[in-house]
Structure 1
Amino acid sequence: MTLKSSSLLAVSVTALLLGACSSNRQARDLAYVERPVEALYNAAADEMDSRDYVSAIELFNEVERQHPYSEWARRSTLMSSYASFRSRRYDDAISTAQRYLSLNPAGQGAPYAYYIIALSYFQQIVDVGRDQKTTELALAALNDVVRRFPNTDYARDATIKIDMVNDQLAGKEMAIGRWYLRRNQHLAAVNRFKTVVDDYDTTSHTAEALHRLVEAYLSLGLRDQAVAAASVLGYNYPDSEWYEDSYDLIENNGSGAQNASSDRTLLQKLTPW
């Protein structure tokens, strides 16, 4: 094949490709037909019911595109956010809900938009061994729901999830504190366990945190602080195995009969039996 023939072939192929692209664009343009808003919205809702969330999002977006200033468009924005949430496209769900709020900050759907944002962060929470930035975002968003809409079902559910998030964050502090404790970095461990006791005192980790403080304080030679932590543990969690372990630690690490007797007296004063 000559150079001239090759050039002609290349030109012909390019022309065919351009023609095909042009035909595809025309087909897409012709496919666009403005439809009644109710028909579009109902079609999107049908896709939601059949759990075809991708198609539902496309149709809800089409409602916004064809009828941008209608009440249907505002509803479609929220439903598109919800469809993204159901399809686990959490970043899309958050951005779409935020777009709704930017246009309708006091709209009827605002509580739901804030709730979707909070749920989307909540669903992305990872185990305590990884970075908890998303957990912190979830906590902030859930608190926002409770603060803005205190007497709603959204707030009641958010309150339950806040307890779960706090437990997660406390678990992260405990994991780091134990890591420090195993490496004899007792002051760093104390700071982590105190954070749990001070900031997450209603979580399931508080009793263990107090016991770990007893361990750390005894290792540092701070007997009075260890006894005080054990006393708080005994007062609040008298039936806990952590209190039994702390009591044994203090008894077995006494520095003489006088100290042991003093420790026992203080513990008895602060325990409810």
Structure 2
Amino acid sequence: MKSMGSASATFSRSGRVTFLKVAAILAPLALAACSSTGESDDLALNDTPAEVLYNEGLALRAQGKLSDADKKFTELDRLYPYSEYAKKSLINMAYINFSRGKYAEAITAARRFLTLYPGNEDAAYALYIIGQSYFRQMPDITRDQSATEKASAAFAELLQRYPDSEYAADAEAKLRVTQDQLAGKEMQVGRFYLNKRNYIASINRFKTVVLQYQTTRHVEEALFRLTESYYALGVVSEAQTAAAVLGHNFPDTQWYKDAYSLLNEGGYQPSEDTGSWISKAFRGINVF
């Protein structure tokens, strides 16, 4: 039988071991609790009223502190989603990001606004911001024109849905620019195929200009290139029609003179076939 002193020593040793084990378990829990408390403090909901947050955001925007203003409106949108002030914050976020050159963020905010509030009075402005954001990213015609196409689509939608809005005039002017650039891209690719003597491919590109971009400055050359391409293929009637339509709409241009000379060298003259797609494309259209 163990003595009391021995038992006490054994208990003391086992107690220390148990204490150390418990301490080892509780220590990380305590740290986690402290950490959790700190995080909860950081993530505690801001109880500032939506109106106050909105006015603070407007004040920061007026002071030119756009980054801080954006954070304020973002916070308001997070704390009071779908509220009237969240709605106003979204359109402010779109404007601020556009002003800062953060076009992807501006587009995202504007599109979200249109999704949530399609009938709102600021919907035209949201579409305008989307169009402008893509417009600012338009590359030269040698590169991919996805941004140009999206800018064109946004401006076209704005004009269709809100023809009398205060943004309509500028949207219409920029739509013409986007259309001209898209036509220019088609012409560039069409000339490439024409130089490679891939006439079917070149005709398809010039046809796109004639059908979709008739009011751009590129349509004159497109009609001449159609004359060239069809003539090279031996489809003389279509070449004659392209030249005739070119002469009817642009009689004093060098493009028509060149088309006339090309046909004349082969003993032909411009002659319109009213059943041709080229003739039908210009029927009732004023290209001037």
- After TM superposition, the score normalised by the length of structure 1 is 0.77
- Residues 46 and 79 of structure 2 are in contact (CA less than 8 Å); yes or no, is this contact kept in structure 1? no
Contact 2:141 2:184 in 1 (8 A): yes
Deviation at residue 220 of structure 1 after TM alignment: 1.9
Pick aligned residue for 2:247 from 234, 254, 259:
234
Q: Report what 2:230 is aligned to.
A: 217
Q: Distance in 1 between matches of 2:172 and 2:79?
A: 39
Deviation at 1:181, TM superposition (A): 0.8
- In the alignment, the residues of structure 1 paired with residue 185 and residue 113 of structure 2 have an alpha-carbon distance, to the nearest angstrom, of 34
C-alpha offsets along residues 3-60 of structure 1, whole Å, 9 cap, x if unaligned?
xxxxxxxxxxxx9x99998897577458x75334444323322332343322221011
Q: Aligned letter for 1:185?
A: N
Q: Which residue of 1 aligns with 2:217?
A: 204
Out of 58, 70, 78, which is 1:45 matched to? Answer: 58
Deviates more, 1:91-100 or 1:195-204: 91-100
Q: Name the counterpart of 2:107.
A: 94
The equivalences for 1:138-157 within 5 A come to 138-157=151-170
The residue aligned with 1:130 is: 143
The code of the aligned residue for 2:60 comes to E
Return the alpha-carbon distance in structure 2 between the equivalents of residues 147 and 42 of structure 1. Answer: 34
Task: Specify which of 167, 173, 195 is matched with residue 182 of structure 1.
Answer: 195
Query: Percentage identity across aligned positions?
Result: 42
- C-alpha displacement of 1:98: 2.1
Computing the radius of gyration from Cα coordinates, the structure with the larger value is 2
| TM superposition shift of 1:147 | 1.9
Shift of 1:110: 2.1
Shift of 1:70: 3.5
Q: Is the partner of 2:167 in helix, strand or coil?
A: helix
CA–CA distance in 2 between the matches of 1:69 and 1:213? 55
Q: Distance in 2 between matches of 1:228 and 1:29?
A: 72
CA distances 1:118-170 after superposition (whole Å, capped 9, x unpaired): 22222222222222223222222222212221221233332222222211111
- Is structure 2 residue 183 aligned with structure 1 residue 170? yes
Matched, 1:192 2:205: yes
RMSD: 2.9
> 1:190 Cα deviation (Å)?
1.2
Task: Name the stretch that deviates more: 184-193 or 146-155.
Answer: 146-155
- Look up the SS of the partner of 2:220 in the other structure: helix
Q: Distance in 1 between matches of 2:216 and 2:35?
A: 61
User: Tell me, which stretches of 5 or more residues in structure 2 are unaligned?
Assistant: 1-27, 273-288
Rounded to whole Å, the distance in 1 between the matches of 2:147 and 2:102 is 15
Count, aligned residues: 245
Identify the residue that residue 8 of structure 1 maps to in structure 2.
Answer: none
Cα deviation, 1:71-119, whole Å, max 9, x if unaligned, reads 2221111101111111122221122122223322222322222222222
> Are residues 1:107 and 2:120 paired?
yes
